[in-house]
A and B are shown apart, each in its own frame.
Chain A
Amino acid sequence: MSVLRTPGGGRVDRERSLQFNFDGKAYAALQGDTLASGLLANGVHLVGRSFKYHRPRGILSAGAEEPNALVTVNPGAPRDTPNVLATQVELYPGLRAISQHRWPSLQYDVGRVNDALSAFFPAGFYYKTFKWPQRAWKSVYEPAIRRAAGLGRAPATADPDRYAQRYAHCDTLVVGAGPAGIAAALAAADAGARVMLCDEQSEMGGSLLAETMARIDGVPALDWALRALATLAGNPRVTLLTRTTAFGYFPHNLLGLNQRLGDHRADPDPGQPRQRLWMVRARQVVLATGAIERPLVFPGNDRPGILLAGAARTYLNRYGVKVGVRVVVVTATDAAYQTALDLHAAGVAVAAIADVRAQPVGVLPDAVSRAGIEIMPAATVLGTRGDRRVSEISLGRVQGGMVRPAARLACDAVLMSGGYTPSVHLFSQSRGKLVWNESLLAFVPGLSAECERSAGACRGVGDLTAALEDGAAAGLAAAPDPVRGSWRPLPEAGTTGGCGWLGALPQPQTTATDKAFVDWQHDVTTRDLALAAREGFRSIEHVKRYTTTGMATDQGKTSNLNALSIVASGLGVPISQVGLTTFRMPYTPVPFGSFAGTSRGALFDPVRRTPMHHWAQARGAVFENVGLWKRARYFPRAGEDMHAAVARECRAVRSACGIFDATTLGKIEVVGADAVEFMNRLYVNSWTNLAVGRSRYGILLREDGFVYDDGVVARTAADRFHVTTTTGGAPRVLAMMEDYRQTEWPQLKVWLTSTTEQWAVIAVQGPNARRVIAPLVEGIDLGASALPHMAVARGRICGAPLLLFRVSFTGELGYEINVPADFGATVWEAVHAAGQAHGMTVYGTETMHVLRAEKGYIIVGQDTDGTVTPDDAGLSWAIGKSKADFVGKRSLERASMRAPTRKQLVGLRSRDGRTVLDEGAQIAALPGQQPPMQLIGHVTSSYYSAALDHPIALALVAGGRTRLGQTLYVPMPRGEIEVEVTPPVFYDPKGERLNA
């Protein structure tokens, strides 16, 4: 066992040793270690390189605030994960990790040259240079900067893990299971609340996990915590979530929690997700998120071996690891004295405690003195030495405003404590107001914006006794029925003196030698902050953005307050006037996978399938996505491409008959005494004269006058319409109808029901259509005069109730067989079988598009684009001329909507008789133009017409209807295509086939 490992104690399992690998080297550690504690136990402090100067960096902290120790776990393996904190990686046997952002190795990194040249790379240097020559930014400078930036590498393969998401509700959510959080949870649970308690660490207890001195309720504090947690675990109304970070505070007391389930296991359970994102809606929230120790800012404060005093205590007491054998403590608080005492007791030489304060007094300084450790008051740090590990510290003494050198001490670790910064991240995210507390040197929660209260160190109540009482009070108040609660903590911890230090430690007037870092990861120094101030960046947001302080992966957890203080003193204003940068979600980084959850692959969006889907699939249909629907696009036979398949399908429909799945069309039942009036007000058409058993092509506009949707509308009873919509349009049409029905015309007696899913729709189209369905249909006379075009009738087919439309979207004799969806597949197969004797061919949406284009029927969304009026589309005939009003009518009356230069729907024929125009191709009146051209329209639909044996196109062309017969030009990259303007109906313009 390493000399740095204590003989006993702590939360590691002494019986279970394990091996792990860092940068290719094997190390021994214990179950319960983090990667950081495991490395420290082996004397390894150097774990990374800084972002800009590539300075060697060691482990600074023991938690989520870590700015230096970012590593890649499982490099090159399927679970390759970059940029994770060594302080949060729980070791398991065989874990592999590597350092990042160094080349060729962590020990020897050529990027270090940046440090030597750092005088020329001050904050924001890149704004001042790299401007010439103009093209060089993209081709030379930027690629070089990009290569130098970044930390880890993105995984090279897709993530094998699963992620889950879960909603939860509770009375009281307590965030943080340190002393205040546990006390809050106990108090709330005792009062009968449904409690959730979450903590980001592998084990609950917070600071108590490293506490050796304090006692609560007559037992050692840690024992109390474990007992309390057992009590909570035994309460069925309490949910405990470890390894669960509350990362976001959203409106109306919704908190986002990310629970890590797999990363700490050598062999993650394949039945479990890697992580689970909880969305917890709490009646009341207690934030007990603790505080983060602040580093001190002095020259050379970034060497490996220089770390936070509280972290050193955690490593010692929780993990049984000594961070060095001879340490110097630099502090502005009493808390670090306890660290010194604990280390001293563990056999670590404490060379001195350099206290920034002039007269450190109290229980702890007294105890330290009694232990024979030298205390140097009014101290400052002048510099440090040691390349990959600190080896010496130069201390100074501040006297009468002057700084004088005081001592040089050899050491292998420096422990610093500048005081504690309350973790107000979640409070600030909730939009609570932070207030500056001068005596605490901290921003603390003020007025809450949500049903929330903070407790303990996160609101500046750092003393254990007070934190327990604060937590208990908060928990009780956050219970739905506080009077039921009776539990109170009985702590007997000693009080510790607070205070602390903000900003840079005093330095002699002479120019300092080394950099004093404020933001470790981003290499922001006191000089950078001074430069920003000199250049006029005075708002703290400007300073942050100009120097990048607080913008690294730690988001300024250790640096923000020091930076603020340095800026404030530089400007000569109080900190409260400089303000604070905004705290943003997430508290610590959360994997994309957790946010995405199960929404991936087939589950990314719901899939809507028709009852005939499997039939089509079995016949090799190629599907397209239309909205959420899967629609069969074409049915290729062996050796056919889409063009060949579509040509065959088209010929079959025109010459014999085809069968088409039209189920996806939206269907809305409009019912009631005022159904006619409702339809009259909504659609452009007049519905008053539509007889029962007849249908009509309807057009719906938006109130701005543009075509919104279309579809056949049948009157199935005096008070009932069966309205069809486009496939994608059904939900929004229904929403629009409901809007008018409920909010504009609530007096109308009309009800709306979506029936899209209730009906399967089988279109049978072609000259043989009647012959195919006649033997199957019961109770309907299919004769041309009994059931003419646009007639609707009820009957039965194959034993199923039938609503039969005689309609055509192909220009052929056609029927749409509506049967209840459950009968869809059976009826489809029966009709298809019956059709085989009549040359029936199944066709898909592509053929449907060609056939309708041959007839000049528009597709809303393809031949219209939200800027097209009914008249533009050649549909004025549909407008009920005698109606005083309908949705969109007033907008159509504006002059701009009636301008003769508006784009109008026309047909186009390529003059060469063979070029199929590109859909979306532009149209010019004049040939031979160079960009920018005068353009008068575009091609909306374009196909090769098998029936006509030439290409056809529909287009929107300015003043198009006045240009019939004209030649226009379609400028393409390889030259212009001459086209002739034609009417939009190419096939059977008289409609004889339709009425057959």
Chain B
Amino acid sequence: MLIIVCPFCGKRPEIEFTYGGQAHITRPERPSELDDQAWAEFLYMRSNTKGIHAERWRHARGCGRFFNALRDTTTDHFVATYRIDEPQPQIEQPAEPVPPP
């Protein structure tokens, strides 16, 4: 069970959260202008990154807020969590292990 740092509530156990999949996939402004391929790209295609992965979580059993996180999918260690309206931090290297609370 992971420890996840909610940007609003702090460190909490994973069972308080729901996973929201890859982050920074924005719903097109005018979907009807997209061809089928572009629409399928939005709907289904995912980077499935091995390494630092930008992803969405929701503190569903806490504040209820969505936020984004950078997690190393080879270790499950979080590198950063940040608000939905913040840009993705530019971090390439996995972090040293950090003590949980």
A binds B: yes
- Residue A227 at the B interface, CB < 8 A? no
In angstroms, how far is the closest chain A Cβ from the Cβ of B66? 5
A252 adjacent to B85 (CB under 8 Å): no
A744 in contact with B27 given A704-B43, A739-B20 (CB within 8 Å): yes
Q: CB-defined interface of B1-29 with A at 8 Å, one 1/0 digit per residue? A: 11100000000010000101000001110
Interface of A is mostly: mixed
Q: Contacting A889 at CB < 8 Å: which of B1, B31, B75?
A: B31
A451 nearest in chain B by CB position: B99
How many interface residues does B have (CB within 8 Å)? 32
- Residue B100 at the A interface, CB < 8 A? yes
Residues of A within 8 A of B58 (CB): 735, 738-739
B39 adjacent to A890 (CB under 8 Å): yes
B36 adjacent to A252 (CB under 8 Å): no
In angstroms, how far is the closest chain B Cβ from the Cβ of A678? 14
Q: CB-defined interface of A236-280 with B at 8 Å, one 1/0 digit per residue? A: 000000000000001111100000000000000000000000010
Residues of A within 8 A of B77 (CB): 251-252
Residues of A within 8 A of B3 (CB): 252, 254, 281
B99 adjacent to A283 (CB under 8 Å): yes
- Residue A680 at the B interface, CB < 8 A? no
Q: By CB atoms of chain B within 10 A, which of A169, A253, A890, A893 has the most?
A: A890
Residues of A within 8 A of B32 (CB): 884-885, 889-890, 893
B13 nearest in chain A by CB position: A281
In angstroms, how far is the closest chain A Cβ from the Cβ of B54? 13
Q: B residues 62-78 with Cβ under 8 Å of A?
A: 64-66, 75-77
Interface of B is mostly: loop
A735 adjacent to B26 (CB under 8 Å): no
Residues of B within 8 A of A169 (CB): 101
Residues of A within 8 A of B100 (CB): 252-254, 281-283, 451
Residues of B within 8 A of A738 (CB): 58, 64, 66
- A169, B100: Cα distance in complex, Å: 10
- Residue A991 at the B interface, CB < 8 A? no
A279 in contact with B1 given A449-B97, A742-B65, A742-B66 (CB within 8 Å): yes
- A889, B30: Cα distance in complex, Å: 11
A885 in contact with B30 given A279-B1, A735-B18 (CB within 8 Å): yes
Q: By CB atoms of chain B within 10 A, which of A448, A742, A743 has the most?
A: A743
A746 adjacent to B84 (CB under 8 Å): yes
A448 adjacent to B97 (CB under 8 Å): yes
A743 in contact with B66 given A252-B2, A431-B75, A451-B99 (CB within 8 Å): yes
In angstroms, how far is the closest chain B Cβ from the Cβ of A597? 14
- A890, B66: Cα distance in complex, Å: 25
- Residue B53 at the A interface, CB < 8 A? no
Residues of B within 8 A of A742 (CB): 65-66, 84
- A746, B34: Cα distance in complex, Å: 23
Q: A residues 881-940 with Cβ under 8 Å of B?
A: 884-885, 889-891, 893-894
Residues of B within 8 A of A893 (CB): 32
- Residue A284 at the B interface, CB < 8 A? yes
- A284, B97: Cα distance in complex, Å: 11
B99 adjacent to A884 (CB under 8 Å): no
Residues of A within 8 A of B2 (CB): 251-252
A896 nearest in chain B by CB position: B36
In angstroms, how far is the closest chain B Cβ from the Cβ of A692? 28
In angstroms, how far is the closest chain B Cβ from the Cβ of A683? 16
- Residue A109 at the B interface, CB < 8 A? no
- A894, B34: Cα distance in complex, Å: 11
B66 adjacent to A739 (CB under 8 Å): yes
Residues of B within 8 A of A704 (CB): 43
A281 nearest in chain B by CB position: B100
- A738, B3: Cα distance in complex, Å: 23
Residues of B within 8 A of A254 (CB): 1, 3, 100
In angstroms, how far is the closest chain A Cβ from the Cβ of B68? 9
A746 in contact with B85 given A431-B75, A703-B43, A890-B39 (CB within 8 Å): yes
Residues of B within 8 A of A284 (CB): 99
Q: CB-defined interface of A714-758 with B at 8 Å, one 1/0 digit per residue? A: 000000000000000000000100110011101000000000000
Residues of A within 8 A of B30 (CB): 884-885
- Residue A450 at the B interface, CB < 8 A? yes
What is the interface of chain A, defined by CB distance below 8 A to chain B? 169, 250-254, 279, 281-284, 431, 448-452, 703-704, 735, 738-739, 742-744, 746, 884-885, 889-891, 893-894
What is the interface of chain B, defined by CB distance below 8 A to chain A? 1-3, 13, 18, 20, 26-28, 30-32, 34, 36, 39, 43, 56, 58, 60, 64-66, 75-77, 84-85, 97-101
A-B CB contact pairs (8 Å), 11 listed: A169-B101, A251-B1, A252-B1, A252-B3, A431-B75, A735-B58, A742-B66, A884-B30, A885-B31, A890-B31, A894-B39
Q: Top 8 closest A-B pairs, CB basis? A: A890-B31, A283-B99, A252-B3, A451-B99, A742-B66, A251-B76, A744-B27, A450-B97
